[in-house]
């Protein structure tokens, strides 16, 4: 069995937003929608102030609350661990959005919204509507770039190792803060890093068993 997962090294992340932009570009996301986010804050008092940077995305949980909440089975967890949404089955009830304890889902309300209102669609938007059509009135989220993974595997490539088969946010990171791979493979880089650096999940107390871990 395969269980795709990711480790994010907080010591390496510099808050450059490459993950946010590459994800947005890869999926032709509309204005105001981000499947990857970088939360930046500060703690302490001057002159001892620390900058806190936390990249967040869908955690592709083993016990995903969104899957359990979906009444139409539009949200499911694949055998390889990726939590996906079937937009043809999604009725926009937003039960999953409420159930997700990590707030990593977005309800797509305005399919006509332009990046430059009143000036027409950009070439990027036109291409996106042809290649990656999004359904108004449905919920969307990170899918671990499942299209890249599936197409890469068909070509004999290895996700997490071969760029063409690896999530866009991972290959775009200039500091290599993200590592992607098979959590069930003890020899994969992601499993090794998880063991050696004792990766932790976001809010393990929720009991959802996220497949995204943090180190550093």
Q: What is the pTM of this model?
A: 0.92
pLDDT tens, 146-160?
Answer: 999 999 999 999 999
Pairing of strands 138-140, 106-108: antiparallel
Q: Where are the domains of the chain?
A: 4-215
As to burial, measured by CB atoms within 10 angstroms (0-12 exposed, 13-18 middle, 19+ buried), residue 103 is: exposed
Predicted confidence (pLDDT) at residue 110 exceeds the cutoff of 90: no
CATH class, range 4-215: alpha beta
Residue that is written with structure tokens 């991972």 in the block: 170
Predicted confidence (pLDDT) at residue 116 exceeds the cutoff of 90: yes
Mean pLDDT (the chain) is 95
pLDDT tens, 38-57?
Answer: 999 988 888 888 889 999 99
The dihedral region occupied by 157, where left means phi > 0, alpha psi between -120 and 50, and beta the remainder, is beta
Angle at 202 between CA 200 and CA 207, to 5 degrees: 100
Reply yes or no: is the peptide bond before residue 20 cis, omega within 30 of 0: no
């Amino acid at each position: 069995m395969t269980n795709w997962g990711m480790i994010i090294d907080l010591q390496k992340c510099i808050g450059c937003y490459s993950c946010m932009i590459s994800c947005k570009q890869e999926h032709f996301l509309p204005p105001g929608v981000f499947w990857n986010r970088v939360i930046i804050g500060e703690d302490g008092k001057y002159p001892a102030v620390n900058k806190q940077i936390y990249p967040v995305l869908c955690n592709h949980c083993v016990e995903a609350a969104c899957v359990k909440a979906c009444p139409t089975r539009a949200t499911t967890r694949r055998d390889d661990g990726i939590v996906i949404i079937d937009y043809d089955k999604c009725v926009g009830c937003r039960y999953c959005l409420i159930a997700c304890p990590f707030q990593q889902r977005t309800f797509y309300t305005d399919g006509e919204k332009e990046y430059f209102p009143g000036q027409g669609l950009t070439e990027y938007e036109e291409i996106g509507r042809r290649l990656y059509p999004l359904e108004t009135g449905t919920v969307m989220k990170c899918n671990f770039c499942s299209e890249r993974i599936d197409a890469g595997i068909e070509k004999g490539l290895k996700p997490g190792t071969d760029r063409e088969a690896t999530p866009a946010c991972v290959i775009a990171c200039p500091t290599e803060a993200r590592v992607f791979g098979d959590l069930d493979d003890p020899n994969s880089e992601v499993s090794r890093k998880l063991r050696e650096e004792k990766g932790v999940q976001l809010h393990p107390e929720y009991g959802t068993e996220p497949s995204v871990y943090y180190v550093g």
